[in-house]
Structure 1
Amino acid sequence: MWLLLLKFLAAHFLGDFVFQTKKMVQNKHKPVYFASHIAIHAALMCLFLANDNMWWAIILVTVFHALFDWIKLKLASKIKAPILFIADQMVHLATIIVVLMIFSTLEISFDFINKPQIWLVLVAVILVTQVTAILIRILLSPYQQYKKVQEHSVQITGEKVLFNAGKYIGILERLFIFGFVVANFWEGIGFLLAAKSIFRFGDLNNAKERHLTEYVLIGSFLSFGCAIAVGLIFNYVLHHLI
């Protein structure tokens, strides 16, 4: 039964990401392009599942895909694109799973929620992303005036920066480090530090502001250290306490 799910997913991903051109995306509000997109999805499912006697499932998935794409078009001007994209994909995948549960013996078990490993991962991810960010902000609070110097200089020079980019870079950085520690791939941490040094510290060196460089270094080492600590604790708890 999992083979059926994989076939449906293959058809969905091909239809949404491979055979849907940029022109189709930009003109999906036009009936011809909208119908073409839905027809491609239907054709792919018919091709992949021709011998599986799942015609009612194919019809339902096609109808619901068209319905949700139409709703997405109506909400495009009201909801931010990343949120709308993720919600749209989640709904499409949920539709496929529900239809398969109705028309086949596919069963989704929620027993995993009682496994301590799942909760350990959840706690570790929260620690690495949100808790660590707050901790670093508190520890760096005595040096906030140097950050303000940078913000002031950006306003004067008119240099363009991405909104909240530093926050998300830090989160991704710690998630990568956490993953490297859990996988016992310590070389990855060195590669990440080297890459960050090239891009980040090169800009700071050109800015000729030593205090700002020191501020970023402290924050970076705190971020790296916290992620490594959480990864080591995760490994210890996973292998010795659970």
Structure 2
Amino acid sequence: MMFIWILVAHWIGDYVFQTSKMAMGKSRHLKWLAIHVGTYTLVISICCLFLFPIKIAISYFLINGILHGITDFFTSRLSAKYQKTPRIFFPILGFDQLIHMITLYLTFIHKNALVFF
């Protein structure tokens, strides 16, 4: 059940709180990517603080925020190139989400080993 809350927080942080400026700008400007990643990480952090002990929560949301940013750095640039070609754009968007889900899951099952302080 805990992982479902992580997925809900991911959806909220990655979609609900992502503005059009963030969505369009993150592929061209690091400023918008940073704002998106910061917003996403804040949402994930709130969820984690309710689910995990403090050290695990901090490690989990920081690691996932960084990995989310790395993933979006590459996938947002790739999807921007194919924005007007739905047959290519949507599989890229789906692949982006697949990477996020795998990242969230792998860090979830290894969360106790991720504590770095």
Normalised by the length of structure 2, the TM-score is: 0.78
- For residues 66-93 of structure 1, give each alpha carbon's deviation from its aligned partner in whole angstroms, at most 9, with x where no partner exists: 0000011332326821110000001101
How far apart are 1:62 and its partner, in Å?
0.9
- Code of the residue aligned with 2:64 in structure 1: it is V
Equivalent residues of 2:67, 2:103 under 8 A apart: yes
SS in 2 for 1:49: helix
What is the RMSD of the two structures over their aligned residues, measured on CA atoms? 1.7
Segment of structure 1 superposing worse, 47-56 or 89-98? 47-56
Indicate the residue corresponding to 1:70 in structure 2: 73
Indicate the residue corresponding to 1:15 in structure 2: 13
Output aligned runs, 1:1-242, within 5 Å: 2-3=1-2, 5-28=3-26, 29-51=28-50, 52-53=52-53, 54-76=57-79, 77=81, 80-103=88-111
Show structure 2 runs of 5+ residues with no match: 113-117
**Greater C-alpha Rg:** 1
- Code of the residue aligned with 1:90 in structure 2: it is L
Equivalent residues of 2:13, 2:44 under 8 A apart: no
- Code of the residue aligned with 1:74 in structure 2: it is R
Output the CA distance in 2 between the equivalents of 1:6 and 1:16: 15
- Higher relative contact order, structure no. (Cα contacts within 8 Å, ≥ 6 residues apart): 2
Show structure 1 runs of 5+ residues with no match: 105-242
Equivalent residues of 1:72, 1:88 under 8 A apart: yes
- For residues 168-202 of structure 1, give each alpha carbon's deviation from its aligned partner in whole angstroms, at most 9, with x where no partner exists: xxxxxxxxxxxxxxxxxxxxxxxxxxxxxxxxxxx
The number of residue pairs the alignment matches comes to 102
Normalised by the length of structure 1, the TM-score is: 0.40
How far apart are 1:48 and its partner, in Å?
1.5
The alignment-based identity, stated in percent, is 21
- For residues 49-76 of structure 1, give each alpha carbon's deviation from its aligned partner in whole angstroms, at most 9, with x where no partner exists: 2142222111111111000000113323
